[in-house]
Amino acid sequence: MVSSISDPSRVLVVDDSPFFRRLLTEVVEGSGEFRVVATARDGMDALRKVRAHAPDVVLMDLEMPELDGLGAIGYIMAESPRPIVVVSAYVGPGAVAAIRALELGAVDLVAKEEGRDSAATARFAERLLAVLRAAKSADIRRLALVARPDREPPESSGPLLHGRARFCVAIAASTGGPRALAEIVPQLPPGLETAILVVQHMPPKFTRSLAERLATQSRIKVVEGEDRMPVRADTAYIAPGDFHMRVAAGAEGTHLVLDQGPPVWGVRPAADPLFASVARAFGSLAVGVVLTGIGRDGAEGLRQIHDAGGIGFAQDRETATIYGMPGAAVQSGGARYVLPVGQIAAGIIGELTRLRCQ
C-alpha cells in the first residue's frame, strides 16, 4: 500500500519508562501530524522495531537496559539512517550523553520536564512537536559529511593568555548544529586575538555539557557564558539555554549580558540579538557565521554585521542538515561566503589573519 502525501509521519517511541512511553505516545498521536507505529522498551527492542516498521522518525531515550540509546543510535545510523530525536533528562549522565548522541547522528533533543503537572506537560508537548517537525524535514544524508571520529585536539603552540579580544566571531546554529560546531570550533587556533560567541538552540543545562565537550576537543578555551563575564581572546562562549546572550562595551572592556527577554523567532537563546550586539561592539572587526537549522534566526543579525563592515559566512545547502537558517542568511544579503561546513574554519582564520594584517 502506498502512503499518501497527507498521511501522518510514522514515529517509533523508545523509552524504558512505561510512563514516558504513554506520554510520548499521547503527545504524538494527539498532534494529528504524526502517528506512533510502535514503542520499544530498550535499544535492542528499538532495533527490532526499526527493522519491522521503518519509522520516519525515532524518539530515543538514552539511559536504558540491554542496549542504551547511544548504542542504538550508532546501529541505526549505520544500518538504516533516519532522523532520531533524543528525549533525555536534564541532569546527571543524561546531559553528557545527549551531546554525544548529537555527534553520533541524532538531529535534535528534547529535555524531559522535571514536573508532571499539566503546565509541564504542555511545555514538553509544544517543544516535542516543534522538534519533530524539524526532524521530519532534516536531510540526514548530510550528517555523514560532517562526521569525524573522536580526536585529540592539536597541541597549542604556547600558553593561552586570554587577553582582551580585538576581534569577534559570532556563530548561530540549530538542528544539526552540534556536529557542525564540532567541525569548526576545534579547528580555530589560539593567538588570533579573537573571542568566539555561539548561540546553539538547545534546552537549558545541556549547553554546559556542549561547552565541556567542545572544550575537550579544542585548543581554545570553551565555556558556558555567564552574565557580566569578560569577553576574552582565545575563548569560546556558549549561550546558556533559556537566556539571550549579548555583548556590551564598558570601561573595563567588553563583557557578556544575559537576559530572559521574550523569545526571538520562537527561541531563547536567539542569534539575532547576539549578532546585533556584536555588530555594534566590534563593527568591521566582527565575523558572523550561520550554520544549519530551521527558521530564520541569524539572518537579520548577519546582515547587521555585514552592514557594519564585518564579514558573513553561511553553511552551504549540500552540508546543512536543514538549510533554513543559512538559506535565509544568504537571502538577506549578509553572507559574503557560502561554504561547506568543513571549509568554514579555514575561511574564518583567513579573514581574521587578513584583519590582523591591516
d(CA 50, CA 59): 11
- Grid cell in block for residue 5: 502525501
Q: Is 255 a catalytic residue?
A: no
d(CA 71, CA 56): 19
Are 214 and 236 in contact by the 8 Å Cβ rule? The answer is: yes
Please pick, among 201, 244, 255, 306, the residue that the annotation labels catalytic: 201
CA 211 to mean position of chain CA atoms: 11
Name the residue type at position 109: L
Q: Is 17 a catalytic residue?
A: no
CB burial string 270-295: b at 16+ within 10 A, e below: bbbbbbbbbbbbbeebbbbbbbbbbb
Q: Is 174 a catalytic residue?
A: yes
Are 271 and 329 in contact by the 8 Å Cβ rule? The answer is: no
Q: Are strands 235-238 and 194-200 parallel, antiparallel or unpaired?
A: parallel
CA 173 to mean position of chain CA atoms: 5
User: Which of 116, 107, 93 lies closest to 321 in space, CA to CA?
Assistant: 107
Length of the chain: 358
Please pick, among 234, 297, 306, 332, the residue that the annotation labels catalytic: 297
Q: How far is CA 243 from CA 185, 191, 271, in A?
A: 21, 29, 11
Q: Are strands 253-259 and 244-250 parallel, antiparallel or unpaired?
A: antiparallel
- Tell me, what DSSP letter sits at residue 65? S
User: Which of 322, 62, 294, 327 lies closest to 201 in space, CA to CA?
Assistant: 294
d(CA 11, CA 115): 24
Please pick, among 9, 88, 174, 209, the residue that the annotation labels catalytic: 174
Q: Annotated active-site positions, please?
A: 174, 201, 297
